[in-house]
Amino acid sequence: MKTTRVVQKILSNYEGETPGVKAKLAGILMNGKLGGTGKMIILPVDQGFEHGPARSFAPNPGGYDPHYHYQLAIDAGLNAYAAPLGMLEAGADTFAGQIPTILKVNSANSLIPNEAPKTQAITASVDDALRLGCSAIGFTVYPGSSAALNMFGDIAEMRREAAAKGIATVIWSYPRGEALDKDGETAIDIGAYAAQIAALLGAHIIKIKLSTDHLSLPEAKKVYEAQDIDVATQAARVRHCVQSAFDGRRLMVFSGGAAKGADAVYDDARAIRDGGGNGSIIGRNSFQRERSDALDMLNKLVEIYRGKA
C-alpha cells in the first residue's frame, strides 16, 4: 500500500509509536473514497447496546442484520467500520480484508438506573481485536463522571497492550456525569477539555461531539473571555477542539449525534472540514435511512470533505 504525502505527514505526528500502529492508521487513512486525503468517514454501530434494538434499527429494519452495516460501509467507500464484539464477529469472516474495522471494547446500556455513576463495562479485549483482524480498539470515557478515573486507568492499560501488539486506539471522549448539567455536556470549554484528555490518554484517533458556544466552567469562562477565544461559529469551535488536541497533531473525528435532517448533517460536515477536523463518525444519521438514501448522503459527505460541495 502506497501512502500519500498527506498521510505520511499525519503519521509523522505520532512520534515514538510502533510501526504496527502506524501501519494500522495508514490502512484506515488510505481506505475508501477519502483514502489519502487525511479525511475520514467512519460508520459506528454500537447503538444497539447503548439504546436497544428497536430504537436503533426499526427505522430501517435491514440494520438488524450485522452484515448490512459491513456492506453499507464497504459500498459507501468509508474508511472504517466500528462495532462491539458480537457485531464484528457476525461478519468478520465474510468481510475479512474488505474494510478496516474498529472493535468497541466497552459499552453501556439504557437499562442502568439514572442515578448510577456514568461508566461502561469492558466487553472485549485486545486479543479479540487481533483475532478479528481489527485495525483499532475503540473505548469510551466519560469526563465528568465520578467513575471517570477508573475508565482512564482501564484505557491506559488497554492502550498500552494494543500498541505493543500493533493495534491503534480510538477514544470516544464524551463529557457526561454528576459534575455536568445537560448544557455542560456539549459546552465548548468542556468539549475542548475532553479532546485534551483523550490526547493525553494516548488516543491515536479522538472522537468527540460537536460543541455549542456555551461556557460551563466559571474559571474557564474567565480565560475564554480574557483571551478572546473565538467560539462563535461551529467551525471556530471545531478549530479550538483541534487546537486542544496537541494543535492538530492527533486525528479527530466528530460524532453525528441524534437523527437529524440531511442538510444539518451536511452543515456539520462543512464546519468540521473548515475547522480543520479530520472527519465524521456517523451512525444513526446514515444506517437509519433507507439504503439508497444513506449511500447518497455518505457520497455527499465525501464530496464535502473533498472540498467539492
- Active site residue ranges: 207
Strands (E), the chain: 40-44, 80-84, 101-104, 106-107, 121-122, 136-141, 168-173, 205-208, 251-255, 279-281
The CA distance from 64 to 90, in Å, is 12
Task: Convert 131-157 into a string of H (helix), E (strand) and C (coil).
Answer: HCCCCEEEEEECCCCCCHHHHHHHHHH
Angle at 159 between CA 158 and CA 165, to 5 degrees: 90
Q: How many C-beta neighbours within 10 Å does residue 214 have?
A: 17
The Cβ-side half-sphere exposure at 128, using a 13 Å CA radius, reads 20
CA-closest candidate to residue 123, choices 84, 170, 77: 84
What is the residue-wise DSSP string for 186-233?
TBHHHHHHHHHHHHHTT-SEEEEPPPBS----HHHHHHHHHTT---SS
